[in-house]
Structure 1
Amino acid sequence: MERDELKLAEGEAEAPPSPAPREAAAPAWATAAVPAVFVLLWSSAFIAAVLGTDAAPPLLLTFARFAVAGVLLAVIAAVSRSPWPRGRLLVHVVVTGLLMQAVQFGAFYTAIGEGLPGGVVALIQGFNPVLIALLAGFFLGERITRQQWLGFAVGGAGVALAVAGALDFSGSAIVLSFVGLLGLSVGTVYQKRYAQGADVRSSTAVHFLASAPVMGVMTLALEDPEVTDWAAFGGSLAWIVLINSVGTFLLLNFMLKKQAASRVGTLFFLTPAVTALLAWLAIGQTLNWPAVVGLVLGGAGVLLAARK
């Protein structure tokens, strides 16, 4: 009896464990909706930035955004037990964050703070796909087809029309906007080349935490860090942190893992037209016919550039 029980116990010990249940895959419609959600949320950042820079200096707003978003994402990464980048990968993630966060938004927010309309900043940012395509082709070896170049051309025309109108341009603000564009484009390609293995949650937290001290030093050195309207500042900061900092960059990093950098970059063609539409809905700015035509052309350009 004891031998039978022993054999039974040994048989049970040697039995292979039952396979763990697989995690349910995301529905196809949810994956397909990611680019559209990304464009909508990304475009809303320009409206929030206009409101935020009216209430506080731009670099102070940028510092607050990075500090709060960095801590929030660090908590999310810790709770979800996301692996943190280490060694050389950590260095690449930090460089990516400084380019895509500190350079891009420090320059963009300062340009908006100097009076350059958010739509014009979105227009300059809209050239990101062309720059990414050139950089990705040179550094990553990604092949750009004739159809994609046609999409870039059509989308570029849509970008220009979407924000056409009589605007007062500031020379230094326009230069800063192109600096921000360069930071975004180079950072996107750099991440695709050197930081592909990093976890989305922890790496995005590192982006913000590495950029916050830089912005903190800059706002103390270059600005009078004083908030004039705490309600507007708090509302703008909450939106920028929760929606734009956490939501959009998690989506951006997710798409960069799944698609070629040049294809992800084409989504930025839609930003100016969607920004104009949101400005009309949120703050009552009239959507004129160039913006409508630009929206159509921008969508057509994305369709051409993104199709296989």
Structure 2
Amino acid sequence: MTNQVDRPPPVTADSPGRLDALVRPLFVVLWSSAFIAAVFGTAAVPPLLLTFSRFAVAGVLLTAIALVSRSRWPRGRLLAHVVVTGLLMQAVQFGAFYLAIARGLPGGVVALVQGLNPVVIALLAGPVLGERITRAQWLGFGVGGAGVALAVIDQIHVSASGIVLCFVGLLGLGLGTVYQKRFAMGADLRSSTAVHFLAAAPVVGVASLLLETPRVGDWGAFGASLAWIVLVNSVGTFLLLNMMLRRQSAAGVGALFFLTPSVTALLAWLINGQTLDPVTILGLLLGGVGVLLAGRKA
């Protein structure tokens, strides 16, 4: 009887390594495309109306997904915490970001400000969650802050109010993330995300009625951008993110978000013909390096 030597299975297109190599860049491109779709959408309809439409349709779709998968729905105090998280992470974040884009701020700059979320979380996590900030993170805060300052100062002539709105959206995202980590970690991801959208939709809808004149200037552009934002950005990237989190480390997945500002700027140039000044490009690069350093652990 001869001894048989175990041999590793051949690498195919379906192997985990090859699949991860395909999914990671696909996720970055699809996530970055949300800012480009928002540019087309806010040109067709008022920004808060677009935000409301996104939340309403995505909420219904994710509710159906949660029901079909028999997800456990949050109740009682947990439900209240999930609602607060949704208002911060969805209504405040995207309402402010879409308003900033509607005021002419480039998608790459908005993506760069959103990319500072790990910095905001680290600053808030210290007093709220008791987490320690490392020297590398403090260095990242300095480099990233310098990059954002360059990118933002260079865009003040475009929209000063848009820059303020960007940081309002960033604050909503950062506060919502820390609040969720502190109070709502026990909620099912699918059902809680559906609650996020369903809670944020009426709030943004009322704001749209009070602050805007609801109108659709281009139904084709509105329908196409809404379909992309809902199906690709709200559902598709959500499924890809969950798949990657099951197969890879959270830190490895989180590092992908450091690429979104530059990829967004590239997509804006290719699709919208939107160019950036050299100072803004330098700010994007420095901001990416800073956020990458800030996201490192001890």
Q: Same fold (TM over 0.5)?
A: yes
Aligned residue identity for 1:108: F
Q: What is the aligned partner in structure 1 of residue 129 from structure 2?
A: 140
Question: Using the alignment, how far apart are the partners of 2:40 and 2:210 within structure 1?
Answer: 23
SS in 2 for 1:201: helix
Deviations 1:165-214 (A, max 9, x none): 56633333322222111111100111111111111111111100111111
Question: Using the alignment, how far apart are the partners of 1:225 and 1:150 within structure 2?
Answer: 45
**Counterpart pick for 2:57 among 59, 63, 68:** 68
Aligned residue identity for 2:77: R
Q: What is the aligned partner in structure 2 of residue 235 from structure 1?
A: 224
Query: Is 2:173 aligned against 1:184?
Result: yes
* Partners of 2:109 and 2:284 within 8 A in 1: no
SS in 2 for 1:91: helix
**Counterpart pick for 2:81 among 71, 77, 92:** 92
Count of matched residue positions in the alignment of Structure 1 and Structure 2: 283
Question: Using the alignment, how far apart are the partners of 2:243 and 2:177 within structure 1?
Answer: 12
Query: Is 2:27 aligned against 1:48?
Result: no
SS in 1 for 2:208: helix
Give the % identical residues: 74
CA separation of 1:233 and 1:208: change in aligned 2, threshold 3 A = same
C-alpha displacement at 1:275, in angstroms? 1.2
Report matched runs for 1:140-289 at 5 Å.
Answer: 140-159=129-148, 165=154, 168-249=157-238, 268-286=257-275
SS in 1 for 2:133: coil
Larger deviation: 222-231 or 276-285? 276-285
Q: What is the aligned partner in structure 1 of residue 12 from structure 2?
A: none
Question: Using the alignment, how far apart are the partners of 1:288 and 1:173 within structure 2?
Answer: 18
Larger deviation: 240-249 or 254-263? 254-263
Deviations 1:212-264 (A, max 9, x none): 11112121222111101011111110111112222345666788999999998
Q: What is the aligned partner in structure 2 of residue 11 from structure 1?
A: none
SS in 1 for 2:50: helix
* Partners of 1:89 and 1:198 within 8 A in 2: yes
CA separation of 1:248 and 1:192: change in aligned 2, threshold 3 A = farther
* Partners of 2:86 and 2:176 within 8 A in 1: yes
Q: What is the aligned partner in structure 1 of residue 109 from structure 2?
A: 120
Aligned residue identity for 2:72: P
Larger deviation: 67-76 or 109-118? 109-118
Query: C-alpha root-mean-square deviation of aligned residues, in Å?
Result: 3.3
Alignment TM-score, normalising by the size of structure 2:
0.80
Aligned residue identity for 1:242: L
C-alpha displacement at 1:123, in angstroms? 3.2
Aligned residue identity for 1:277: L
Question: Using the alignment, how far apart are the partners of 1:104 and 1:72 within structure 2?
Answer: 21
Aligned residue identity for 1:102: A
CA separation of 1:193 and 1:258: change in aligned 2, threshold 3 A = farther
Question: Using the alignment, how far apart are the partners of 1:258 and 1:216 within structure 2?
Answer: 38
Structure 2, gaps ≥5 residues long: 1-14
Question: Using the alignment, how far apart are the partners of 2:182 and 2:247 within structure 1?
Answer: 14
Deviations 1:123-142 (A, max 9, x none): 33233222111001221122
* Partners of 2:146 and 2:286 within 8 A in 1: yes
